[in-house]
Amino acid sequence: MRWRYLLLVCCLSTGTHAEIYRYTNAQGEVIYTHQPPAGVEATPIELSTPNRLEPPSRPLVQPPSSSVTSGKAAFAYQIRWIGLTSGQTIRANDGNLHISVQLQPELQSGHFLRFSLDGQAVTGLQADAEVYLTELDRGAHSIMLEVLEANGKVIQTSAPLSFTLQRSSLNNPARR
């Protein structure tokens, strides 16, 4: 019985399309309705097809892209940015942004991370795979991650990831 009910609901929900009619009432007002009134000449309105956007062809999760800078590395980390994609626009009126990465395999003992924003290091050597950026200016930014040894030698560098930060302007009339 459930299957029959489900089939009936599916059949009734597909192909529903309402006609829209236009007519002018006795007061001269133009009325739009889904049912033409009796005794009044109503003109059917032709609706254009709605805009349709195809989903992006790129994968939702950005494939790991990084370069190994030392020629004889035993392995390379796969670096995946969490919740941040290249070209993304982020709204943060306070200018604060929390950024995380996932490394595969996990960070090895003796290896450290350093985040860089717009070509400038924003962290020292750290084992934590996240950074909290504060008071960022609005506009375009680029962030990178480096994997380093304890002596500061760069083992691997991620590809730069670009994003745009939107903030309310002090000149915004709505703020006055």
What 3-state class would DSSP assign to 116?
Answer: strand
Whether 103 contacts 129, CB under 8 Å: yes
Output the pLDDT for position 19.
Answer: 80
Which helix (H) or strand (E) element contains residue 30? strand 30-33
* pLDDT value of residue 75: 65
For domain 66-166, the question of CATH label 2.60.40.10 is answered with yes
Note the pLDDT of residue 10.
53
The stretches in the chain having pLDDT less than 50 are 13-16, 60-65, 70-73
Contact 160, 142 (CB under 8 A): yes
pLDDT of residue 9: 53
**What is the overall mean pLDDT for the chain?**
78
Residue 13 has what DSSP assignment?
Answer: H
Structural domain boundaries in the chain? 18-47, 66-166
pLDDT at 60: 46
Return the exposure string of 148-160: e unless at least 16 CB atoms fall within 10 Å of the residue's CB, then b: beeeeeebbbbee
pTM exceeding 0.75 = no
**Cα–Cα distance for residue pair 107/79, rounded to 1 Å:** 11
**Model pLDDT for residues 68-94, shown as the tens digit of each residue:** 554 444 568 999 998 888 899 988 888
Cis upstream peptide for 105 (omega within 30°): yes
